[in-house]
Amino acid sequence: MIRIGTRKSELALWQAKQVKTALQSQGHPAELVLIESNGDLDLTQPLYTMGIQGIFTKSLDTALLNNKIDIAVHSLKDVPTLLPEEIEIKAVLSRGNPMDVMVYNSSFKSWNTQSSIGTGSLRRKAQWLRKYPKHQVKNLRGNVQKRLEKLNHSDWSGAIFAQAGLERLNLLHNNHQVLDWMIPAPAQGIVAIACLKTNKQIGAVLEKINCKETAHCAEIERSFLNTLEGGCTAPIGAHAYFDEGTLFFKGGLFSLDGTTALVHEEQVSMDKSKDFGIKKAHEILSKGGEELMQQIKSQL
């Protein structure tokens, strides 16, 4: 019986059940083991003040290292680019929708210069303020249902969510707009499965349910993030996808207030995609990104 570690939120459970189904389709019985995370327990502090590196993954990492679970299921965008030495991301499922959406307050009529929107993400905040510099951005934390509830009990105009999360919980209704101009978080919409490097038997099982194309896109986006970030939380977006042998990539680094944006967009053939995220991050660093990262670090 494969023990699947997961957080307790409804979305985390949805993801873990997808992994369980995939494993069972390969003939491997599995069960869910529920683990509490610090990110779920503290719903008031903004994520970037809580040491965001691994805030939703530390508890599951600990359970893996203590042999309480065999695998851990994560939203890959929540997983730090540098993992504990003994742990690796061994598989990802086929990607869901990577985009962000604006969900409107039930009483929303129209935007005005004093409009407020909710988000706990520096990336979303920076890109929203770049487009709407006079708007107010309010901190919004909690699972998807709690955030929707907070939105509709607020005087805000709307709040930003990952489209995949709302779709997976059947909560994407007509009162939304897809933010196709907003660069998503690296690996947004991807379900990842981690295990111990020493557990070769589980590793071999996970390889059979791994989506290689999604894994390649995730590697490009996460290496872009890791190269830019250097251990610092920053407003960084990246999206990579393949279409008929061509890689399409868009990545950006933003100042906290959105006034500065260093964005790179390019398409190349698949055979030139090796280390692509690292190369594009170095281009941004050489064109003002290094100074911008220093500025961001001094402000956080």
Contacts of 201 (CB under 8 A, 6+ apart): none
Give the pLDDT score at 113.
Answer: 83
Confidence at residue 232, expressed as pLDDT on a 0 to 100 scale: 67
Tokens coding 40:
């779920």
Instruction: Return the active site residues.
Output: 78
DSSP, residue by residue, 119-188: -S-HHHHHHHHHH-TTSEEE---S-HHHHHHHHHTSS-SEEEEEHHHHHHTT---SSEEE-TTSPPPTTT
Assigned token pair, 181: 């101009």
- Residues (pLDDT < 50) of the chain are 39-52
Pairing of strands 158-162, 100-104: antiparallel
Does domain 100-178 correspond to CATH entry 3.40.190.10? yes
User: In the chain, which segments carry CATH 3.40.190.10?
Assistant: 2-94+190-210, 100-178
d(C-alpha 238, C-alpha 223), whole Å: 10
C-alpha span between 251 and 225 (Å, rounded):
9
Architecture field, domain 223-299: 2-Layer Sandwich (3.30)
Prediction pTM value:
0.91
Start-to-end CA span in the chain (Å): 44
Give CA–CA dist 225/281, Å, rounded: 8
Q: Identify the pLDDT of residue 39.
A: 47
- What the block records as the tokens of 44 is 């008031």
* 54 DSSP 8-state letter: T
CATH 3.30.160.40 domain locations along the chain: 223-299
> Residue 3 is inside which H or E element, if any?
strand 2-6
* Tokens describing residue 51: 């040491």
Assign domain 2-94+190-210 to its CATH superfamily.
Answer: Periplasmic binding protein-like II (3.40.190.10)
d(CA 254, CA 60): 31
pLDDT in tens, 247-283: 999 999 999 999 999 999 999 999 999 999 999 999 9
